[in-house]
Each structure stands twice: as structure tokens, then as C-alpha cells.
Structure 1
């Protein structure tokens, strides 16, 4: 047991370090994407021509292979966390923009007409009626982006961003399955935890009537 204690301590230290790095990559990129994507989705809904342009651009970004996008960031930002965060941010845009647009677009017209009849301004309608009605769809888009980012962030190790991809990359180089699993298993568990967290957030943030309607 004396021999295994240092190894276990080292493993826990590495796991903690990789987890914090991975969470940093996902949290920063996702937060930035939420701040940018929801207004973009609203703009896409408000103006049809602008909407086609926005959805087209974020759709094209999503088609770029993740590894190619990461490599493309190196000449712009070098290596490390910054290029990985920018790439993850770009990958997060489409699900949130699309779901914000769809959530607003799918609101029944009679609800908007009722809000207008009450004399609500466009901003008040958006804040008090439309965004709450679209909240389930928006949250689903954020959840999709978060889960995708947890997986894609493992590739960040290729450009020096660390995270769970680091032991996976080292394990591949050394042909060491234990190291590969040291990164792969926590990444899979984190993806499941993130999905569960957003399911709980839906219970808290989405009005009960909308949850029942969607079930």
C-alpha cells in the first residue's frame, strides 16, 4: 500500500488539474457563446434577411471539422487555451442561435396578438412573453452546445490547451490504455453530468406549463 499511495496521489492531482482545465475551456467558451448567440437568434427572428445570413454563417462554421478549426486558430492566437476557447465558442454558436430562433418562431401568433392588445412594447413583449415562451428551446440549444463542447474540448490538448485530452494524447503516443482511459472516462462522465445539470435547470427555469406541453 506504501508503493501505491504516491501513485494514487499523483493520479488525483492530475485528474483535478485536468478537470479544472477542461471545465475552464468549456465554461468560458459556452458563456461567451450564450452572450452572443441569444441576441443573434433574436435578430434572426426579427429580420428574415438577417436571419438567413446569420443562420447560414453559423451553419457553415459547424461544418468545419473540429481538428481543422483548432489548427486554423494557431496562426491567429498561437497555442494554448485561447485558440481552443475561440474554436469551442464558434462551435457553440449554431445550436443556441438556431434554437433561439426556432423557439421564438414557434410561438403561436395569438399569444403575440394578445401581448400587443395589452399595449406591451416590442421590448416588453420579448422580455415578458416571447423569451419565457422560447426558454425551453433556448435551454435545449445551450445543453447541446455544452455537451458537444465537453467532447470537442478533448482535442484542445493537441494545441496545448490541456484538459482531459492531455492524458488521452499521451496515452496514444505511449500506447498506454490506462492513460487513454484516464482522460476518456472523466470526459464521458462530465458530459453526462452536464446533461443532467441542464435537465435540472429546465425544471427550475422553464415554466411548468411549457415543460408539460413539450413532454
Structure 2
């Protein structure tokens, strides 16, 4: 993919506004900004962080309760990829205050696990991650990676996160049609916060592969 032209398309979509800036419009803007950030990240452009911050802000603004757990997840992932520690430190407690750790939805639990890992609350993160590993409606390799980060199991994490990358290489659908293993990249940021370093193999869905 030609990443710079792709980023320009997503930026243009972000700027478009039809009608009121309501919840759905904010979500669309968040999606477009995140896709622009991913494309710029793949192109090695420092501007990516600005677009990740926009995505996090729009998704946070769009939250209206209910089961829209993908929005806190997205806001946290975007802030991690932007290396915006201040935003992560604000979003993580907010995500937990929403009741994500005890949510019935696996995506709610996922949001909680990310938040707890971002805050360095390892035992609590492990408890939530283990609850995800027991489910059949959540990717097992992502749950494994979260659990291994919380347990500081480098070998287990390496296998799990590489499985996550492989799943992105073979899937047919990606957010905004931007084929980037953003989940693996966010997991890498969480692993670094745990003092774990693992270099991912080259992949067309990761930066630096071209």
C-alpha cells in the first residue's frame, strides 16, 4: 500500500462534516483519524502521533455509556501508540470507572486489561486477562498476550504477540481498510511498560517492513 496517499485520504475523511457533530459522527472521525495515524506510522512519519491523539479525543467524546466498549479500547490504544503518557494516565482510570473490569462484554474486559496494564496494576490485570482466556468470544492469542504481560512471562508473550501479528496478515477486513497490526503494536507498548522487550519479525502489517 502507498501509505502517504492513504493517509491523505483518511485525513480528508476526518475533515468532512455532514450534519451535526453527533455520536456517530465523532466515531467516524475517530476511525478516520486512527487510520490516518496508522498509515503515517507505516510510512515512518512523526505526524502519526498527532492523528492518534485526535482519534483518542474523538472516541472519548463519543462515549455515551452502554456497551460501546470499543471506544475506550480505541482511545487507550491510540494514546499508547502516540506515546502520550498524560492521556494514558487520564484515560486508564476513566475506563476502569466505567465498570469495564466487571463488564459482561469481553471487549469491556479487554478495555479494563489494557487500562490496568497501562497503570502497572499487574495482579489485577492478570485476573481480568485470565477471565478473557476462558472465553470463546475473544481472540485467545490477545488474551494470552495480556496475561503474559501481567505475569512478566517474556517467552509466552513472544509467542502470543507473534500469533496476533499472523492473524492480521491473514484477515480480510481491517479498520478503514488499513492493514496494520495495531493490536500487536499496542501490546508491544504495554509490554515495554512491564519491562519486557521483544522484537517482532518483519511483516507487511508492521512498520519497517518495506
Length-normalised TM-score, structure 2: 0.28
Length-normalised TM-score, structure 1: 0.28
Larger relative contact order (CA 8 Å, sep ≥ 6): 1
Structure of larger gyration radius: 1
Q: Which has the higher helix share?
A: 1
